[in-house]
Amino acid sequence: MQYAFQAQEAASQSASAVVRDPMISIRGLSKSYGGHKANDNISLDIFPNEVIALVGDNGAGKSTFIKMISGVIRPTSGSISIGGRKVDMTSPNDARANGIETLHQNLSLVDVFNVQENIFMGRELQRKILGMVPSLDHAEMRRRTVDLFKQLGLKTPDLNKAVRALSGGQRQAVGIARLLLENDLKLIIMDEPMAALGVEESRLVVELIMRLRERGYSVLIISHNLDHVFQVADRIAVMKNGRMIGAVERNKVEHDDVVSMIVGGRIPERLAS
Ligand SMILES: Nc1ncnc2c1ncn2[C@@H]1O[C@H](COP(=O)(O)OP(=O)(O)O)[C@@H](O)[C@H]1O
Ligand SMILES: [Mg+2]
């Protein structure tokens, strides 16, 4: 019996629950605006290779939470630790230096630039030929762009096309490929990446997220679409009225459980322990 119990316990541990150090550890994070607590005492660990979906009604505090993790706003109180070390992030650059990148809804792409121009925007590779003014190394940027798409398991789009000519899913891929150029990237935060996409295109983004997880990255994704959430997430973190109701393992919950957490603000009794 003892063995059976242990085996069952082991089997019930998802990859995310295996004992290891979190990539990021958030403790007691709060943000007040005047007397209003946009985030109230939020704690959450995110592990390497883990996809967490953050869900909750409008005004629940999701954006406030990710803004604190991505260095856009500073917490009123609480702590964020990365690799076991407390960090004080005062800007998105600080977050970047800590391996955190945010893919914003507009993807920060320049529509009239082509794929590789977008990917290398602001960090163009240069080539110096002896005695000459440095010039852009288009060949190398092209080679690396093809390589990035290969890493994402995607067919490389026509690199000469302006990105406005690409599909929504391909544009997401360009936005993500851009982030992968960061050396120490650990956590990718995505705010409603499928919001404006059709079924096929959303599936592509789901696959992209799977690929990011396979490559060892952590992903924190905000989504209103529970179908997508159930497709990509290892754990589902539910917020309501500025509080974290709980982060539950996807394999242990049904749609209805998550809906009742969002609406009722309580973890289903059988999961609370
Ligand atoms: N800059 C701000 N100033 C005042 N109140 C804010 C600000 N940002 C967010 N809030 C409030 O904090 C709460 C949480 O907002 P938000 O984090 O945007 O929620 P969500 O992203 O889940 O919709 C809301 O009540 C919102 O009105
Ligand atoms: Mg929001």
Closest Cα to atom 16 of ligand 1: 61
Cα 242 to ligand 1 centre (Å): 9
pLDDT for 16: 47
For the CA of 63, the nearest atom of ligand 1: 21
| pLDDT digit string, tens, across residues 183-193 | 789 999 998 88
pLDDT for 3: 42
pLDDT for 9: 45
pLDDT for 153: 87
Q: Ligand 2 (ion): which residues have CB within 5 A?
A: 63
> Ligand nearest 104 Cα, by number?
2
CATH 3.40.50.300 fits 21-99+185-267, yes or no: yes
pLDDT for 40: 98
> Ligand nearest 239 Cα, by number?
1
Cα 203 to ligand 2 centre (Å): 23
Cα 100 to ligand 1 centre (Å): 22
Are 176 and 207 within 8 A, CB to CB?
no
Cα 62 to ligand 1 centre (Å): 8
> Ligand nearest 37 Cα, by number?
1
Q: What is the C-alpha to C-alpha distance for residues 149 and 100, in angstroms, rounded to an integer?
A: 20
Tally the C-alpha atoms within 13 A of residue 270's C-alpha that lie toward its C-beta.
5
Beta strands in 85-210 (DSSP E): 85-87, 100-103, 126-127, 135-136, 187-191
Closest Cα to atom 25 of ligand 1: 59
Cα 262 to ligand 1 centre (Å): 17
Residues of the chain with CATH 3.40.50.300: 21-99+185-267
pLDDT for 272: 75
Ligand 1: residues within 6 Å at CB? 33, 36, 38, 56, 58-64
Tens-level pLDDT at each residue, the chain (273 residues): 344 444 444 444 444 445 689 999 999 999 999 999 999 999 999 999 999 999 999 999 999 999 999 999 999 999 999 989 999 999 999 999 999 999 887 778 899 999 999 999 888 888 887 777 888 889 999 999 999 999 888 888 888 889 999 988 888 899 999 999 887 899 999 988 888 888 888 888 899 999 999 999 999 999 999 999 999 999 999 999 999 999 999 999 999 999 999 999 999 888 876
